[in-house]
Structure 1
């Protein structure tokens, strides 16, 4: 892992790798004052998902979800030539980490269902897997920007909810 990454000629120190998704690697970075998430797009193959332009898809999905009012980290910068974005860092553990520790808050399901109430009429789903959500100051944030056309088999009630229960199965690469 590199010690620094650059967005629009501004250098950030890498503090840690937060995770790897279908579209990129997310790093916790700092400019010495504030912490951010830097997502570096990757072009590794994904057998169960196809992308056209990953960066443009990320930006399009962000705009779509913002218009709907889904709580998400703010997009702060885009560096198209480097294929990376800089996002607000929502501090805290993911819902997946909290569930593993036996810490389920009943309000989280209500907040996801509220998000579904915005998404479904717009013909959309998000990735409901608990690693994509961070509770902070009473708000549940969707920290990914991915959204897809609505399909009942991948909505929260038919797919996502199973990962939010006490005995949740490991995620499979089915989507």
Structure 2
């Protein structure tokens, strides 16, 4: 892993890898003593998801979710040629980690349902997997920008909720991804 990552004319020091998703790697990075997330788009194959232009999708999805009123980290800068994005860093614990420790506050379920009340009328789903949500100062943030056209099969009640408690699906995933806790 490189020790730096660049977004336009800014070079960030990489502190650590936060996670790898379908579309990229997200790093905790610093610049002038301040923490950010820098996402590097990747083009690794994903057998269950089809992508178009990933960097354009990130920009468009961020705008759409912002317009809907979903609580997100601010997109600060985008380097289209390097396919890197500088995002606000939301410090806190992921829903995934809290579920694994039996410490998920009820407010998280209530807040994701409030998000759904905004998303569904806009014919939109987000990726409800619990690694995509961070609780900071009792406010739930969706830290990814991915969104898709609404399909009932992939809404929170039919898919996402399966991973917001210690269900068989959650425990199976946890068994093969212990590094997330």
* Same fold, TM-score > 0.5, yes or no: yes
> What is aligned with 2:28?
28
Paired position in structure 2 for 1:134: 134
Query: TM-score, normalising length from structure 2?
Result: 0.92
**Structure 2 counterpart of 1:98:** 98
- Determine if the alignment matches structure 1 residue 85 to structure 2 residue 88: no
Paired residue for 1:42? 42
Offset at 1:168? 5.0
Counterpart for residue 55 of structure 1: 55
Size of the aligned set, in residue pairs, is: 172
- Equivalent position of 1:121 in the other structure: 121
Give the RMSD, CA atoms, in angstroms. Answer: 1.2
TM-score by length of 1: 0.95
Whether 1:154 aligns to 2:157 is no
Name the counterpart of 2:144.
Answer: 144
Q: Deviations over 1:108-130 (max 9, x none)?
A: 11100000000001101000010
